[in-house]
Structure 1
């Protein structure tokens, strides 16, 4: 008997052996899920009232205009039957080919078999027909408030995305093809990936987006040389080693968001904003926030302002011997920098010479894509979670952000990992994205209730630190950098709040790309351009209509703006001073702490 004759039997044996492994792994899966404590139901789905209102609106439409509703139904039925007949006709002609396919392009269906194989093409086309019908029905609903409509649209889209045939093994040709090619090994690897993710997260399903073994903080990311020169219960203050003989007199102090880690600004040498700023001759300080545990439950926004922002400003001034600093706030830290500047104005404190804001919201009147999650049912659930855990756990926020881009950040990675058995990529940005921090309970409650829901900072003012703070209190020179496709802090919403300050010197920049890539955009890449307009009196639409597009990164433009507010050149400063001995090398200890599930 030849080798070729025995090969099929060997392949079958291998396939059966892999399927036996699948059974064994399935028992592990059952075990880990048996110990899983489910997340409270309020954080998994909207209150039933939303679906009741949507159903009521649908039935009201059917009562008021039954012809229109029936017309929509008949259109779906007609297209479905026609689609079925066309597929049957091709088969009856003896052609193993798909019928004509006029459905819109969708990268989920990029594998050739979705177009060429009649079985998979039939499933794909029917899914697209159903999707079109559901979206049309939701679009035609009347009698809903703006927020109710946004929520119905969002959650109906989530259901449609979840039910895509690509998400199921039996209807995913690429996954089936690989299972056959690997004699089932891809299924074994995929199930191992699934169980590993569940075990790492106490039964919560968080798809691992990056290979965590490929990165080590301080070794191949967050490597800009510097020292920890101050530490308190809220943050470590990092001062980075100069790379020029002279530096600007006024130091630069950066406040990153405390939802994630500071090293988004220091991933690799090639895209490190911190390294680039030191190369431009700035004395760079960066705040590295604590990753809070339950003992921080009573820490609020006032604590972040007093023991975080004001403390770091004071320490930076003392170390450099300067009366002022230039400050930067990114995302939520930008919002809080605004609050701090308002407080400093009321106290007569002129320690900040200028302020730059990266992707920063101050006006939350339009909640954008977060509208589904910023209503009382979800926030009530978060409040109960906080009461129990003391913090808003990182994975809850990570899951929320991921489902705003579910196909890119949930389903596609899940397919590759769990159905295809692929290891996650060694991607520094995705590694950082998964290295989040929890939020202290009181701070999360105040931010969500008073800023996101109540919009107090731009309405009647928000009570913090014994004062009533308002956006109009901010009057230092400001520069706001926003991102064109940012879905977290939409540039148009950032622009509205930006206009409400009383600053006489204002610069507004719209970078191409999104919340991270639009900011971490070094000049060397020559990738994303930016828009500028000196006229800041009109609407956001008018700003963009009159804007000039500039090729390349916005960093050099900001450098020109910042250097004009940074004083004369002085001898380069080494980290620390006589009263601030280096506590340890950068990146420090706080950044190393991982969030708990």
Structure 2
């Protein structure tokens, strides 16, 4: 009987094994070294602010407070609503109390919902950490519910509240803190704090690299070098101006399709997402299918490019590319491909060029591209009058720092792209593993002031292109006048260009489009070579205003594997007959340098 009574007590003692300091002297020494590196990180953060060189962001903390205050006012303004909210929270804690009693008595407790943040067994076995996990689950569900159910708040404010609440909840997870994460705690004790020394050294380095902002390392950057093991498809830079370089890739077949391809990538990050390596390169695959491929490689803008707007990006990017293609191939008809914002620019360029009689683009492929921004996801959180005004102030030097854009995109998926790396890098002291896609993701570019502000206001805030209200160079853009063949690729889990948003955008064109949804997200869904035999894609009838996205989705046909071969079948009838392969420059232009060129490295 006594043994039965002492069993829970002994289990409680056993549960604290591994949580004691092993070598107090070594721990104290490492704590001092950790604080030294932390001080360097603090100095790297403070110094540019003291010099007035940076402003905080991307989130405005004033906006966070005012947004969440509106949600609070909604719940507190009605006694019944307030009581219901309190009762829901108390009910959750009563459940925790019941679980704690059952656990102490040695009775089984229902397993929690699987969550990779809480994979360590002590999140269930140890009474303290089990309580922390369950409390976090109750509070986070309750807080997210308050934001989502605040139906009396205007839609934009409610959207911001949902986003901010989710970001705060992700940040406050007990898995993110040394004292409340059993795995971190045990590792720190086992290493006498050496892990924190390594982690804070990396933290200081990343703060210094970000020049006042944390440039979070998500991949072992020393493992990759542009032009050596990423962006390696053979080719030449054959033309350049102050805004971009034009790359022509070397043929790998004896004959090629007559009509060339011109790719307009996004200027947010670098074009080599389409040329990561020999296996994952969409560009290399296109070349292997027999296409003559040209790519616009945008410059990383600085103060000199502050006034470059969308007209400049069309004229000095797309038109410059079209002129170059025609000059070296003699072909006046091109199949164009646009990715993300590069696709939005391509969409705007079509009616702009048609209005002046330039119809050299004879088909358009849009990869995860938004034309209609009504359903544009969480990026809309950052776009309203107040935030646009604040953003404009941060671009005093004529551009937005790349670290700001990188932080914004990471915040969209903070639970996957921020906190796991904070824990692993800075608390466990582990260098991240090499990953080419995340290396590219961290290779952020600056945004030219005029270009970026126009994009945010005209597209995200006012949705002018879809509403036929966008003007460029005095031309009112009407996509309903564009009746050339169009291929739209969306991805099922896209957090930047949601599939419904791409579907709605396809309806802006004057002829039915081919619309395809690939599995995975904004990047992995696009960069999915057939050789990997991964994922799947869905096809159906051409989008119609009479058919909602959900109704379209309910009638789709699923195909295993990559969407690339499907696109190739679509493009071949528009690619023309086969002609002898073309070398870069075509004997007309002297190549300037090898691909991928200087601009992508700047």
TM beyond 0.5: yes
Pairing partner for 1:519 from 516, 522, 526: 526
Residue equivalent to 1:73? 86
For residues 570 and 141 of structure 2, the distance between their equivalents in structure 1, rounded to whole angstroms, comes to 49
Residue equivalent to 1:499? 507
Pairing partner for 1:45 from 49, 53, 61: 61
Asked if the contact 1:42/1:378 (under 8 Å) is kept, the reply is no
For residues 393 and 276 of structure 2, the distance between their equivalents in structure 1, rounded to whole angstroms, comes to 36
Larger displacement relative to structure 2 (435-444 or 52-61): 52-61
Pairing partner for 1:213 from 200, 207, 222: 222
- What SS class does the counterpart of residue 578 from structure 1 fall into? coil
Pairing partner for 1:59 from 53, 76, 84: 76
Pairing partner for 1:431 from 439, 442, 453: 439
Residues 1:143 and 1:23: Cα distance change in structure 2 (over 3 Å): closer
Pairing partner for 1:306 from 301, 304, 315: 315
Give the CA RMSD over aligned residues. 2.0
For residues 193 and 187 of structure 1, the distance between their equivalents in structure 2, rounded to whole angstroms, comes to 10
Q: CA deviation at 1:376?
A: 1.9
For residues 459 and 108 of structure 1, the distance between their equivalents in structure 2, rounded to whole angstroms, comes to 43
Q: CA deviation at 1:39?
A: 2.2
- What SS class does the counterpart of residue 383 from structure 1 fall into? helix
Asked if the contact 2:506/2:543 (under 8 Å) is kept, the reply is no
Aligned pair count?
576
Asked if the contact 2:67/2:157 (under 8 Å) is kept, the reply is yes
For residues 494 and 34 of structure 1, the distance between their equivalents in structure 2, rounded to whole angstroms, comes to 42
For residues 25-68 of structure 1, the C-alpha deviation after alignment (integer angstroms, 9 at most, x for no partner) is 23323433331425246843352542332222122222xx2xx5
Pairing partner for 2:208 from 180, 189, 199: 199
Pairing partner for 1:543 from 552, 555, 579: 552
Structure 2: 5+ residue stretches without partners: 1-19
Correspondences of 1:45-194 after superposition (within 5 Å): 45=61, 47=63, 48-62=65-79, 65=80, 68-81=81-94, 83-84=96-97, 86-87=99-100, 90-91=103-104, 100-101=109-110, 103-194=112-203
Correspondences of 1:350-429 after superposition (within 5 Å): 350-386=359-395, 388-429=396-437
Larger displacement relative to structure 2 (173-182 or 37-46): 37-46
For residues 62 and 318 of structure 2, the distance between their equivalents in structure 1, rounded to whole angstroms, comes to 36
Residue equivalent to 1:485? 493
Residue 77 (structure 2) pairs with residue 27 (structure 1): no
For residues 490-527 of structure 1, the C-alpha deviation after alignment (integer angstroms, 9 at most, x for no partner) is 111111111120135x2111111110011101000110
For residues 565 and 297 of structure 1, the distance between their equivalents in structure 2, rounded to whole angstroms, comes to 38
Normalised by the length of structure 1, the TM-score is: 0.92
Asked if the contact 2:376/2:497 (under 8 Å) is kept, the reply is no
Q: CA deviation at 1:86?
A: 4.7
Asked if the contact 1:331/1:360 (under 8 Å) is kept, the reply is yes
For residues 371 and 92 of structure 2, the distance between their equivalents in structure 1, rounded to whole angstroms, comes to 47
Asked if the contact 1:87/1:99 (under 8 Å) is kept, the reply is no
Asked if the contact 1:265/1:274 (under 8 Å) is kept, the reply is yes
Residue equivalent to 1:337? 346
Structure 1: 5+ residue stretches without partners: 1-7
For residues 74 and 349 of structure 1, the distance between their equivalents in structure 2, rounded to whole angstroms, comes to 65
For residues 177-231 of structure 1, the C-alpha deviation after alignment (integer angstroms, 9 at most, x for no partner) is 2112222211111111111111111221232111111100111111111100001
For residues 374 and 316 of structure 1, the distance between their equivalents in structure 2, rounded to whole angstroms, comes to 37
For residues 528 and 35 of structure 1, the distance between their equivalents in structure 2, rounded to whole angstroms, comes to 47
Q: After the TM superposition, which parts of structure 1 deviate over 6 Å for at least 4 consecutive aligned residues?
A: none
Normalised by the length of structure 2, the TM-score is: 0.92
Asked if the contact 1:40/1:381 (under 8 Å) is kept, the reply is no
Q: CA deviation at 1:377?
A: 2.1
Pairing partner for 1:230 from 235, 239, 242: 239
